[in-house]
Amino acid sequence: MKPYLTYLSKRLLQFAVVVFVGINIAYVVTHSTPINPVEQTISAATAYGSTSPEAIEMMRRSLSELYGLEGSPWQQYLSFWQRVLVGDFGPSLSAFPTPVSELILRALPWTVGLLLVSTLLTWFLGNLLGGLAGYYRENRVLRAFGVVTAGLHPVPYYVVAFVMLLAFGYLWPILPISGGASMAADRTDVVGFALDVVIHSILPVLSLMAAGIGGWFMGMRSLVSNIVTEDYVTYAELAGVRRGKILRHYVMRNAIGPQVTGLALQLGAIFNGAIITEQVFGYPGIGSLLISAVHAGDYSLVLGITTISILGVSTMVLLIDLLYPLIDPRVEAA
């Protein structure tokens, strides 16, 4: 138990350092921009009429407090961390006076649902089929699948996405090509709305899987191909152990460790795919919100999205790290 507690404490410390450094970098970058949200908001508010200097000054003080820009840079920095700890990023500049946290909460479930499901499905199917292909090396179907995935693997994701968009949205229009749900969908009908969301997510999920499954397939196939030559596998086969049991307990379990590490790295980059995917398919998630915030110069929203992304990704990687000893007991004793 003690070795695992040491392992746990190291991972928690690493998590805290990554989150702290990442959020600080985001803070420095966004606050280094020449955009002044207070003056921009005042300009937008006074563009269509005259306002007294007293009213403008009162507005400036109120907005400075809302955006956390009062006092010296050090005081602003401390105020920022006080706000972060309670999830308050101030109002959005582009959607004033809507709070940044409210905008993020609206968009976050779409991105997490789409990318997390597609990443886990791709990882599971790629490793399962790769393991089967590495063990049953003479299977023609698995060999043909390997050729297809190897051909798709180097193709950029946006090319795969556009091809699938053209194929299933125009040439063979059987799937919706944009949006997270139908405009006329009845959200009070939980089952009907959930089904509509699933139908709208099929094309983005399939495009992400088509672009990503090749890496997992080839990686697992290579690992399994090396493991099947080990003495303990040969001995199990000579002892008459069923091939299915050998594959599950002797081969796949020993090969899955590096793939779990790869999954942690993939989850670390999960939000990278949000921007391209949501732009191609018009999906209402964090990626689309971030692009809109950048175009509008809404640095409060950019900072809020970046902070939430850092927290979410770091948490997922931490969970994978904590589950790893359950897959490979040797880690606990390390």
> Which three-class secondary structure string do you get for 230-281?
CHHHHHHHHCCCCHHHHHHHHHHHHHHHHHHHHHHHHHHCCCHHHHHHHHHH
Residue 45: how many CB atoms within 10 A of its CB? 15
pLDDT at residue 11, rounded to an integer: 82
**Structural domain count of the chain:** 1
Residue 216 within any structural domain of the chain: yes
d(CA 172, CA 201): 17
Strand partners, 91: 99
Flag whether 262 is in a domain. yes
Q: CATH number of the domain at 224, please.
A: 1.10.3720.10
Q: b or e along 256-286 (b: 16 or more beta carbons within 10 Å of the residue's beta carbon)?
A: beebbebbbebbeebbebbbbbbebbebbbb
C-alpha span between 266 and 79 (Å, rounded): 33
Dist. CA 56–CA 217, nearest whole Å: 62
Residues 259/220, Cβ–Cβ less than 8 Å = yes
What pLDDT is recorded for position 327?
64
Asked if residue 61 belongs to a domain, the reply is no
118: in domain: yes
- Residue 112 forms part of a structural domain: yes
Residues of the chain below pLDDT 50: 333-334
Domain presence at residue 2: no
Instruction: Look at residue 333 in the predicted model and tell me its pLDDT.
Output: 46
Q: Would you say residue 115 lies in a domain? A: yes
Is residue 212 situated within a structural domain? yes
99 bridge partner residues = 91
Give me the pLDDT at residue 42, please.
65
Q: 167 lies in which domain range? A: 107-296
